[in-house]
Amino acid sequence: MPLAYVAFYVVVIGPVDLWHLLARPRIAELLRNTVTLAIACMAATAVLGVSLGVLVERTDLPGRRLWHGLLVAPLAVPAFVNGYAWVSLDRSVHGFTGAFTVVTLSYYPLVYLPVVAMLRRLDPALEESAWSLGHSRARTFRTVVLPQLRPALLGGALLVGLHLLAEFGALSLLRFPTFTTAIYDQYGSTFNGAAATAMAVVLVLLCLVLLLAELRLRGNRRYARLGRGAARSAVPAALGPWRWPLLGVVGAVVVLALGVPAYSLVRWLVIGTSTEFPVAELAEALVATIALALAGAVVTTLAAIPVVWLAVRHRGWASTVIERSTYIANALPGIVVGLALVVASLRLVPGIYQTAALLVAAYVILFLPRAVVTVRAGLEQAPTMLDDVAHSLGTGPLATARRVTLPLIAPSLGAGAALVFLAISTELTATLMLSPIGTHTLATEFWSASSELRYGAAAPYALLLVLVSIPATVLLMRSDGPATRTERVPA
């Protein structure tokens, strides 16, 4: 529907005016900013995610379990809280360098998690065969392990790219204009202006480029194995003299990604002149956030089930298109989706305008892909054979779904819901626009305080946001994370 909205307004604007709006220096500047930041961050998160994953999973780095926990933990710190933490400590953190640093530190777990999951599932026998054939460890890694990591790496990098295209809060705080922040600025001046729609068109195209690139790079290879393989862990590589320097590197990442926001938050809580703890407002925002995020997570996950069912059990180009099209909304900023829903609800069903129901609908549109990705991985691993066996034993289709398939995919439903919960609790722009009058969430309150530079007043909300995110992050850490979809079991 947001796509239909964008398309509708493109028609309303007309090709001549659209061209006029697109062919101007500002668009070139935004395009340059958006593309360079996306490429730089995807490359940096890929390098960081893979090297950290290998270090933690495949070497004798001291304290590996502890480091794993600490390396995933930044997922619980929303990017805009991270941006706030940096910019409020040092005003010189801004522009490209600032945006690159903060975004990379916030998003690298999106690559790290799937890479770790993949490394854990690789059968060490593959590598051992390579060694027995005389390959060195380094060469084995390059020719055997790395190609296997490809889908996890690409999937993770795709998520980073999509997140980045839609990122508003962090980039706005760090003063690095991209299409999303520019759309927001236009919206602030016109609400429903042609220039904003024109920029949304460019954003959709960028998203398409990303999706196609990922499909292309991933290729048609299958990465499944036929047997179950050996359920044992690989022999860790000895780091030797590199042990301590590398430990230092991992430590530095944790300090930058986790230490800086923690220090900054505590500092503002303690010394901020505008720090206050309005208990009633904090509690109200907390309850509203949790209620909206829970409702959104449940509805989104339920909505993901039919999409995934079609995509996995009835493969074909149509189901691929349906599945992939949900990604586009993921890269559209919340503001475009919000605006589409405002316009649509006012013209079609004014009764639901500014109700919680409409806001939840926006969340479903925005975050369906995240649930789809995770639930899909679960369903891919549930063999159809089991359904057939159940059928042959006289169980009806509904009962099969309830007693066989549902229990099999339940963990991935949980992980999908956790991912959506995380995303909703930190959603800002659609919430600002669509929330019922008088409803404030932690994210909107945080934003209103931090954009007035009342850093101290923003701190309690930021802290609560992090606390709310912790349970979902733990749940994700236990499951295999968002990009397990890339592992295919032969159909």
Partner 1 sequence: MSTPPRRAIKRASVALAATLLTASTLSGCGVFGSPDLVVYNAQHEELLDEIVPMFEEQSGLDVELRSGKDLEMANQIVEEGEDSPADVFLTENSPAMSIVDNAGLFAELPEAATASIPDEYVPSDRAWTGFLARSTVAMYNTDTMTDADMPDSILDFADPEWKGRVAFSPTGADFQAIVSAVLELEGEQATADWLAGLEENGVIVQNNLVVMQSVDSGEVDAGIAYHYYWYRDRQENGSDSDSSALHFFGNQDPGAFLSISGAGILDSSEHKDAAEEFVTWLTSTDAQQAMAESYALEYPLNPDAKLDPAVKPFDELEPPTVDVASLNGPQVTELMTAAGLL
Q: Which residues bind partner 1 (CB under 8 A)?
A: 21, 24-26, 29, 91, 172-173, 175, 177, 182, 185-193, 195, 273, 284, 287-288, 290-291, 294-295, 298, 342-343, 346, 350, 353-354, 356, 406-408, 410-411, 413-414, 417, 432, 436-439, 448, 451-453, 478-479
Count, residues in the chain: 491
CB of 286 to partner 1, least distance (A): 11
CB of 441 to partner 1, least distance (A): 12
CB of 293 to partner 1, least distance (A): 9
- Give the whole-angstrom CA distance, residue 37 versus residue 31: 10
Nearest to 117 by CA among 66, 45, 68: 68
- Give the whole-angstrom CA distance, residue 287 versus residue 269: 21
Backbone angles phi, psi at 392, to 5 degrees: -65, -25
Query: Which residue, 50 or 194, has its beta carbon nearer to partner 1?
Result: 194
Query: Which residue, 237 or 357, has its beta carbon nearer to partner 1?
Result: 357
**287 Cβ contact list (under 8 Å, min separation 6):** none
Query: Which residue, 237 or 302, has its beta carbon nearer to partner 1?
Result: 302
Query: Which residue, 116 or 250, has its beta carbon nearer to partner 1?
Result: 116
CB of 449 to partner 1, least distance (A): 9
Counting runs of H as helices and runs of E as strands, what totals does the chain give?
25, 0
Query: Which residue, 251 or 436, has its beta carbon nearer to partner 1?
Result: 436
CB of 357 to partner 1, least distance (A): 10
CB of 322 to partner 1, least distance (A): 24
In Å, how far are 51, 248, 250, 375, 388 from 244, measured between CA atoms?
Answer: 15, 6, 10, 40, 54
Contact of 180 with 333, CB cutoff 8 Å: yes
- Give the whole-angstrom CA distance, residue 268 versus residue 291: 28
Q: Quick one: which H or E segment has residue 152? A: helix 146-166
- Give the whole-angstrom CA distance, residue 166 versus residue 125: 41
CB of 21 to partner 1, least distance (A): 8
Query: Which residue, 250 or 443, has its beta carbon nearer to partner 1?
Result: 443
Query: Which residue, 161 or 338, has its beta carbon nearer to partner 1?
Result: 338
Query: Which residue, 319 or 448, has its beta carbon nearer to partner 1?
Result: 448
CB of 400 to partner 1, least distance (A): 14
Query: Which residue, 127 or 380, has its beta carbon nearer to partner 1?
Result: 380
The token duo for 283 is: 């509690």
Name beta bridge partners: 59.
Answer: 237
- Give the whole-angstrom CA distance, residue 146 versus residue 230: 19
Query: Which residue, 140 or 484, has its beta carbon nearer to partner 1?
Result: 484
Query: Which residue, 144 or 408, has its beta carbon nearer to partner 1?
Result: 408
CB environment 164-186: b (16+ within 10 A), e (fewer): bbbbbbbbbbbebbbbbbbbbeb
Query: Which residue, 195 or 260, has its beta carbon nearer to partner 1?
Result: 195
CB of 108 to partner 1, least distance (A): 24
CA-atom Rg of the chain in angstroms: 23
CB of 401 to partner 1, least distance (A): 12
What are the E-state strand segments in 155-218?
none
Torsion of CA 101, 107, 109, 110, to 10 degrees: -150
Residue type, 407: P
Query: Which residue, 45 or 354, has its beta carbon nearer to partner 1?
Result: 354
CB of 27 to partner 1, least distance (A): 9
Nearest to 261 by CA among 471, 32, 446: 446
Residue type, 228: R
Q: Which residue is it, tokens 């999509």?
A: 162
Nearest to 379 by CA among 389, 368, 391, 371: 371
CB of 411 to partner 1, least distance (A): 5
Give SS3 for 432.
helix
In Å, how far are 212, 235, 334, 394, 489 from 370, measured between CA atoms?
Answer: 18, 33, 15, 35, 20
CB of 14 to partner 1, least distance (A): 16
